[in-house]
Amino acid sequence: MAWFKVDDGFWSHPKVLLLSDSAVALWVKAGTYSCQHLTDGEIPRQLLRFLGTESAADELVESGLWNATDQGFRFHDWDDYQETSDAVKQRRDQARERQRKRRAERDKPKNGHASVTRDSQRDTTVSHSEVSTPDPTRPDPTRPTNKESASAREEDDEKPKARSKPRTRIPADWSPTDTHIAYANERRLDLDREATAFRAHAEANDRLLVNWNSGFTQWLTKARPQTTSTAPARRPGTEPSDWRRSRPQPAQDFAQGYDVIDAPPF
């Protein structure tokens, strides 16, 4: 793509101040046409019906912006302000050569083995859109090259990946630890009841944990201290878990003079 350059002082130039709007529009459209088709400022007369009018062209000739020719018109001093067709073609050829070298470097065989890729089978012809110059008012975004992207992926693959422990169901032989016993005694908790409730909750909800001892520790932090018994906590199974076996039934309490209200709840 070639750019038609218009100076920022164009609007106030003496040759432009007295032009009509149609003449100015014709000058701009004809300039972009010449850059697109690489005519070096030559405008055929038959194109006026697409670009403007005869009267507008006469204004440009009278003002000195255009010169009349046998075939039509030509921009005055085009080569001094605009890129010539030879310069545009040379720039495009250089861009094609850079593209060819870049592709050859990218497709170069590794370790002495030839590799055939989809890109290596393509036609090396480069369209004008691939070799066009960037918009001077907008910088090109910075993008990583193919080598940088491949290197980043290799570094990610080489990094060791942390392995997490699998979660399991509560083991059949699980039981509270000495730390649990000490914690339950300190907080006056019924360890046997809490361990039974903990296992029942885990099995009923099909819970999966990595560390069941840590899970039971959290369970105990939410347990309520017992208020009707002062017996220290022991491992489940080392003493009867039923409170009825440790003291008389409510009816027997009443018969022996105990207050039934103080009996533990069912």
Mean pLDDT in residue range 134-145? 55
Task: Specify the amino acid at residue 81.
Answer: Y
pLDDT band at 134 (very low <50, low <70, confident <90, very high): low
Give the residue with greater pLDDT, 39 vs 165. 39
**Between the CA of residue 201 and those of 114, 116, 173, what are the distances in Å?**
64, 62, 16
Q: What average pLDDT does this structure show over 161-184?
A: 86
pLDDT interval class at 245 (50, 70, 90): very low
Q: What is the pTM of this model?
A: 0.39
When pLDDT is averaged across residues 2-28 and rounded to a whole number, the result is 90
Q: What is the mean pLDDT of the chain?
A: 77
Residue 113 has pLDDT above 70, yes or no: no
Among positive and negative, which fits the CA dihedral 42, 44, 45, 47? Answer: negative
How does residue 225 score in pLDDT terms, banded at 50, 70 and 90? confident
Residues 230-259 have a mean pLDDT of: 49
Give the pLDDT confidence of 66-97 residue by residue, as tens digits.
Answer: 999 999 999 999 988 898 989 999 989 999 99
pLDDT, residue 61, reads: 94
Measure the CA–CA gap between 81 and 30, rounded to whole angstroms: 15
Q: How confident is the model at residue 187 (pLDDT cuts 50, 70, 90)?
A: confident
Helices (H), 42-145: 48-51, 54-63, 78-81, 85-106
Grade residue 33 by pLDDT with cuts at 50, 70 and 90. very high
pLDDT of residue 107: 87
How far apart are the C-alpha atoms of 266 and 264, rounded to whole Å? 7
- Residue 145 clears pLDDT 60, i.e. is over it: no
How does residue 234 score in pLDDT terms, banded at 50, 70 and 90? low
